[in-house]
Amino acid sequence: MKKVLFVTNGMSGGGAEKILRTIIWNLDRKKFEITLCSLHEPSDYIDWPEDIKYKNIFRHNAKTWAQRLLVTFSNKLKLLVYDNFPASYFYRLFMSGIYDTEVAFIEGYSTRIVSGSTNTRSKKLAWLHTDMFKNHWSKIAYRSDQEEIECYKKFDGIYGVSKDVSCSLSKLFPSLNSTGVIYNPVDESAIVSQSKLNPELRHIKRHKFHLVSAGRLVEQKGYDRLIPIIANLIKEGYDIFLQIIGEGTQRSQLEKLISKYNLTENIELVGFKSNPYPYFVNSDVFICSSRLEGFSTVITEALILGLPVVATECAGMRELLGENSEFGIITENSDLALEQGIKTILEPETLLTYKDLAKQRGATFTLNNLISKLEECL
């Protein structure tokens, strides 16, 4: 049995974390003994399996003042070592255990930590979830670009979640090459099953077209430009209701935009939902307004449920929706193009066509095939 360590930046409700949870739930326990190390301690372990080992680097849960004091001191010491010493020092002091395979599940901090592994015989794999060339956010985890390059050179395999993401590494750092692509596995049977549950859904019957989007309320997801687009469409006579599922730092800004355009009856910020799928199946179209993506898991989920998709051009979109928008409409990454794309898909015949094509495309991203490929890599 192989001992496998996954290192991730956090265990919150983001897309990458959801994918990691799906992977861990479905890896064969007869083949793998799994340890999950999170950079930040979660508030709880709900929805995560009980039969694996958990580690946390930076602790946050403390009840007494003495515990809080100890946790604060410990976290500051770890941060001091991380910021000022090579990754091997941090690994030696704060990471323990012997593993056959060590996976840095996301770029940035996790990748730097695993690169410092003192397990000289372990296989080390890095997993990229974003277009590194367009969104080099991971540089904040390193003391220099050269250090990041040297860290990646210590990995036996570097995989991207899409072809665009995989190629982006060599665009950013020409001396590096990725190993290949492992698409995000999605549990299609669980999604279909959960979609049949009935949450309290409001406004469903009040409008001709019900649109839905899901993601963190941050600039990257482009909701600040989607709201004015919806306002323009309503002015032109479209009877639309949009639900945005997710939480984030832009909530207050988005609420002000909704108020500014008098859209309180047309746009609802639903908040985070552990089961968003009933909202999907009660909608006509899924909208992705992102400025940047790596490989959109939520679009895969929408396709599985037969939901027509309009998406801005980002990494991975053509792999999901076809080179020529065969399975969903891909627009230029601009406000005007996205608005036109929504108009196009709301045409009755177009809507019906893409509904049939969505399910056809969703069937290609089956869980078993992708998990099998991952197990071969481990």
- Output the tens digit of pLDDT for each of the chain's 378 residues: 999 999 998 877 667 788 898 899 999 999 999 999 999 887 677 778 889 999 999 988 878 888 889 989 999 999 999 999 999 999 999 998 899 999 999 999 999 999 999 999 999 999 999 889 988 999 999 999 999 999 999 999 999 988 889 999 999 999 998 888 888 888 888 888 888 887 565 445 567 899 999 999 999 999 999 999 999 999 999 999 999 999 999 999 999 999 999 999 999 999 998 889 999 999 999 999 999 887 788 999 999 999 999 999 998 888 889 888 888 999 999 999 999 999 999 998 999 899 889 988 887 777 877 888 889 899
CA separation for the pair 158, 305 (Å, rounded): 31
Q: Report yes or no on 265 lying in a domain.
A: yes
Across 84-120, b (16+ Cβ under 10 Å) vs e yields eebbeebbeebbeeebbbbbbbbbbbbbbbbbbbebe
Cα separation of 102 and 72, whole Å? 28
Q: Do 175 and 211 share a structural domain?
A: no
Alpha-carbon distance 320 to 362, whole Å?
Answer: 9
Indicate if 201 and 132 belong to the same structural domain.
Answer: no
In a domain, 211, yes or no: yes
Q: What is the pLDDT of residue 237?
A: 93
pLDDT at 252: 94
Residue 14 has what pLDDT?
67
How far apart, in whole angstroms, are the C-alpha atoms of residue 248 and residue 275? 17
Say yes or no: 245 and 103 in one domain: no
Residue 374 lies in a domain: no
CATH number, position 275: 3.40.50.2000
User: Quick one: 11 and 148 in the same domain?
Assistant: yes
Q: Quick check: 132 and 170 in contact, CB under 8 A?
A: no
Which residue, 134, 158, 182, sits at the end of a domain?
182
352 in the same domain as 325: yes
Are 41 and 100 in the same domain?
yes
pLDDT at 184: 83
The answer to whether the CB of 128 falls within 8 A of the CB of 108 is: no
Residue 275, in any domain of the structure: yes
Domain ends where: 119, 154, 182?
Answer: 182
Q: Three-state SS string across the chain, please?
A: CEEEEEEECCCCCCHHHHHHHHHHHHCCCCCEEEEEEEEECCCCCCCCCCCCEEEEEECCCCCCHHHHHHHHHHHHHHHHHHHHCCHHHHHHHHCCCCCCEEEECCCCHHHHHHHCCCCCCCEEEEEECCCCCCCCHHHHHCCCHHHHHHHHCCCCEEEECCHHHHHHHHHHCCCCCCCEECCCCCCHHHHHHHHCCCCCCCCCCCCCEEEEEECCCCHHHCHHHHHHHHHHHHHCCCCEEEEEEECCCCHHHHHHHHHHCCCCCCEEEEECCCCCHHHHHCCCEEEECCCCCCCCHHHHHHHHCCCCEEEECCCCHHHHHCCCCCCCEEECCCHHHHHHHHHHHCCHHHHHHHHHHHHHHHCCCCHHHHHHHHHHHC
Name residue, tokens 């690994």. 91
Give the residue from 182, 202, 219 where a domain finishes.
182
> Does residue 85 share a domain with residue 26?
yes
Within a domain: 375: no
Task: Tell me whether residue 370 is in a domain.
Answer: no
Is residue 23 in some structural domain? yes
| Centroid of chain to Cα 254 | 21
Q: Which domain holds residue 61?
A: 2-182
Structural domain count of the chain: 2
Do 171 and 237 fall within a single domain? no
User: 227 and 160: one domain?
Assistant: no
Give the per-residue pLDDT at 176. 92
Q: Is residue 104 part of a domain?
A: yes
pLDDT given at position 134:
87
Same domain, 223 and 239: yes
73 and 54: one domain? yes
Same domain (yes/no): 56, 39: yes
